[in-house]
Amino acid sequence: MKKLSYLLMFTVMILVLAACGNSEATGSSGDSGSESEGNGPIEITYWYAWGDKIGENNENLVEQFNEMQDEIHVTAEFQGSYDELHSKTQAAFAAGNAPEVTQNEIASIETFAKSGMTQDLTAFVEEDADEIDMDDFNPGLMGNSYVDDKLYGLPYLRSTPIVYINKTMFEEKGIDPASIQTWEDFQSAAENLTDDEHVGISMPVDIWFYEAFVAQAGGEMVNENGEIAFNGEGGVEALNLWKEMVEAGTMRVPGGEPLQAADMARQDFATGRAGMYFSSTADLTLMLQLAEENGYELETIMFPENEQRSVPTGGANLVMTTGLDEEKQQAAWEFIKFMTAPEQTAYASEYTGYLPSRLSAVESDTMQELYEEKPQFKVAVDQLQYGNARPMIEGYPEVVKILIEEIQRLMLDPSLEAGDVLDQAAERSANVIK
């Protein structure tokens, strides 16, 4: 019986916290004004996902913001992966102590907006029209910002997947990375790279890459009516490509828990066992470092095209939570504006490899110098003209889980038919989105 209390206590703690949170909010709304008028700055909290370089970047930018002015003080807090960040935000919101500013992984913008957790930012932008130029945000990144024509998030640390290439290995095998334009080029390059000790590419089963290939094949994950469409022609074609490559032994797909599988693929590439690797542009700084440590040259190229060239975008948008008083809202807005301004986006891009989300930032001296010095950074920006939004329907995380599971089933047993596996996933998903 006591064992059950784990969950139960969690539930009750949330209830108790909710009760405390509410009374605090109602009780102190009167004096919180006078408090901040007095002396101390307005305190707001900002939650972010991912550590390492990305975490440092967040901490550094927040520090810059705190030093630049003394009216607002931001406390940045690390919350793990996107999934963890989301569930913590949701639990904290239910408990009445959500952070004022947080990140939404772009596919979850709609879910958060529709459940009333994130603030409609349209009015803030209109009020500040002369200060913030919405046209300066890269249009390829704006697809996941609006819900029902209202703005809910501004592009912050945004990415696209790119193809990382072990240039040294390519040269040994006499392949020119630039020659990889189509799926056939990609497939034959993988074939040429594969021998007893090497494999063409190591790739975890990741929804992002699948989204990319489906779009390249001219298909879609979810159609405009919000219905599952990945079991259409494009989806089957994309999965068939993977299946063929796995069967031919030119693609290695590590199994296991998703983050662990991603780690294994990265190790394969870092240690020179795999010639190619898909990953977010956000990993570029880290991958350059790993390549140097392991003594090979790193190059990046765009995803190959089939029917068309297309890549999903990814990363996080900055959002403001609802239920804040006006003062906190203004403070949160100031902070969001700062974090997404051209200068900061250039800083973040250089620090991590994330995309500069502002067009003017791409033109800035900082970025131009960087592209000159490290051309690997430019690929993602060039590729952005083919960037697409990610599906945002409610229940998508669960659909993703089901789909990944079914694709893994095929990867473990390539004798299955891609079409059957996808139909099965679509059928199971239909119950989820209803």
Partner 1 sequence: MRSAKWRPYFFVAPAIIVFLVFFIQPIFYMIYLSFHDWNFISPDKTFVGLGNFKDLLSDPMFLEVIRNTLMYTFFTVLFSISLALLMSIWLNKQGWMYSFVQGAVFSPHIISLVSIAMLWMWIMDADYGLLNWVLSLVGLEKVPWLTDPNTALSSLIIIAVWKNIGYFTLIIIAGLQSIPKHLYEAAALDRTPPWRRFAKITFPMLSPSLFFLTIIGILDSIKVFETISIITKGGPLNSTNTLVYYIYENGFIFFKIGYASAAGVILLVILSILTLLYFKVLSKRVHYQ
Q: How far apart are CA 378 and CA 393, in angstroms?
A: 32
Shortest distance in whole angstroms from residue 262 CB to partner 1: 12
Handedness of CA 209, 214, 218, 222 (dihedral sign): negative
If phi > 0 it is left, if psi is from -120 to 50 it is alpha, else beta; for residue 272 that is left
- Please report whether residue 22 would count as binding partner 1 according to CB under 8 A: no
Interface stretch with partner 1, choices 3-11, 63-71, 128-136, 368-376 (CB under 8 A): 3-11
Which residue carries 């986006």 as its tokens? 345
- Please report whether residue 117 would count as binding partner 1 according to CB under 8 A: yes
Q: Given the complex with partner 1, which of 98 and 362 has the nearer CB atom?
A: 98
Binding mask 172-211 for partner 1 (x = CB under 8 A): ----------------------------------------
Do 383 and 313 meet the contact criterion of CB atoms below 8 Å apart? no
Q: How far apart are CA 366 and CA 374, in angstroms?
A: 12
Interface stretch with partner 1, choices 32-40, 240-248, 384-392, 406-414 (CB under 8 A): 406-414
Among 91, 125, 286, 341, binds partner 1 (CB under 8 A): 91
Do 133 and 99 meet the contact criterion of CB atoms below 8 Å apart? no
Shortest distance in whole angstroms from residue 38 CB to partner 1: 34
Q: Given the complex with partner 1, which of 6 and 131 has the nearer CB atom?
A: 6
Q: Given the complex with partner 1, which of 17 and 359 has the nearer CB atom?
A: 17
Residues whose CB is less than 8 angstroms from the CB of residue 242 and which lie 6 or more positions away in sequence, other chains included: 213, 251, 253, 407, 411
Among 46, 47, 50, 93, binds partner 1 (CB under 8 A): 93
Shortest distance in whole angstroms from residue 130 CB to partner 1: 35
- Please report whether residue 226 would count as binding partner 1 according to CB under 8 A: no
If phi > 0 it is left, if psi is from -120 to 50 it is alpha, else beta; for residue 372 that is alpha
- Please report whether residue 77 would count as binding partner 1 according to CB under 8 A: no
Q: How far apart are CA 11 and CA 5, in angstroms?
A: 9
- Please report whether residue 3 would count as binding partner 1 according to CB under 8 A: yes
Shortest distance in whole angstroms from residue 430 CB to partner 1: 13
Question: Which phi and psi angles does 82 have, rounded to 5°?
Answer: -60, -45
Q: How far apart are CA 386 and CA 310, in angstroms?
A: 5
If phi > 0 it is left, if psi is from -120 to 50 it is alpha, else beta; for residue 391 that is beta
Which residue carries 């021998």 as its tokens? 195
Interface stretch with partner 1, choices 35-43, 82-90, 158-166, 221-229 (CB under 8 A): 82-90
Among 83, 120, 305, 423, binds partner 1 (CB under 8 A): 83
Beta bridge partners of residue 318, listed in sequence order: 103, 154
Interface stretch with partner 1, choices 24-32, 329-337, 393-401, 419-427 (CB under 8 A): 393-401
Shortest distance in whole angstroms from residue 407 CB to partner 1: 10
Site residues for partner 1, window 252-271 (CB under 8 A)?
Answer: 254-258, 260-261, 264, 267-268
Residues whose CB is less than 8 angstroms from the CB of residue 246 and which lie 6 or more positions away in sequence, other chains included: 253, 411, 414
Do 111 and 392 meet the contact criterion of CB atoms below 8 Å apart? yes
- Residues binding partner 1: number (CB under 8 A): 39
Q: Which residues bind partner 1 (CB under 8 A)?
A: 1-9, 11-12, 15, 83, 86-87, 90-91, 93-94, 115-117, 254-258, 260-261, 264, 267-268, 395, 397-398, 405, 408-409, 412
